[in-house]
Chains A and B, each alone.
Chain A
Amino acid sequence: DTAVSQTPKYLVTQMGNDKSIKCEQNLGHDTMYWYKQDSKKFLKIMFSYNNKELIINETVPNRFSPKSPDKAHLNLHINSLELGDSAVYFCASSPGQGGTDTQYFGPGTRLTVL
């Protein structure tokens, strides 16, 4: 059973379009995250939710909007896509926000904006 799953795995789209990436975890975790990884492998936290409540909202354009319908799902919607949005987006989850908590990552969604 996949612990953290994301769909789609690849997403190719034109500038200006709106797209969504879905994430689900079956680990019973309370906390979920979205990360962006650029071409140099640098990881940047975008959002974090704990029990469906937003707890981390880094400096991300408001074209990016996360939605957590329940604590097992955290979806990412992106409006008016730009070339600079091309990256790999990872969803992750952890049991809570504790200092020793391990984060479990999904396989990533490679977004290419043309």
Chain B
Amino acid sequence: GDSVTQMEGPVTLSEEAFLTINCTYTATGYPSLFWYVQYPGEGLQLLLKATKADDKGSNKGFEATYRKETTSFHLEKGSVQVSDSAVYFCALKESNYQLIWGAGTKLIIKP
């Protein structure tokens, strides 16, 4: 069945560092791919998404490119801030099936 694998956390970086959180997937069809973010004490919210191969999703300085050849959707940001500290979830969805979630990666940014 479909699955999503994320790098284990926590990931700890200093402010202004470059961020990569790896996400790879397995799917039988052509899924859409998502990154959701959960700030402390809150529910999840969509960060970005991509619906087909080679699409790039971007929001708040974060980017991720849908790479079918490597079945990946890595999350990147050029310069992180303390306010980016959160848990990041990679997910995939095929139409009429449930959203498949990664295990989440906790990101800690130190001033």
Contacts and interface: CB of A to CB of B under 8 A. Distances in A.
Contacts of A98: 95-96
* A4, A42, A99, A108 — most chain B CB neighbours (10 Å): A99
A43 B32 contact: no
Interface string B68-108: 00000000000000000001010001111111010110100
B49 A97 contact: no
B51 interface: yes
A4 to B, nearest CB: 8
Contacts of B97: 97
Nearest to A50: B96
A105 B98 contact: no
B43 A108 contact: yes
Contact of A42 (B31, B95, B98, B103): B103
Interface string B42-65: 111110010100000000000000
A99 B43 contact: no
B42 A48 contact: no
A106 B95 CA distance: 23
A43 B42 contact: no
Interface string A9-25: 00000000000000000
Given A41-B87, A90-B44, A101 B38 contact: no
B66 interface: no
Contacts of B25: none
Given A99-B32, A100-B49, A90 B95 contact: no
22 contacts: A41-B103, A41-B104, A42-B104, A43-B89, A97-B95, A97-B96, A97-B97, A98-B95, A99-B51, A99-B93, A100-B32, A100-B51, A100-B93, A101-B93, A103-B46, A103-B99, A104-B45, A105-B44, A106-B43, A107-B42, A108-B42, A108-B43
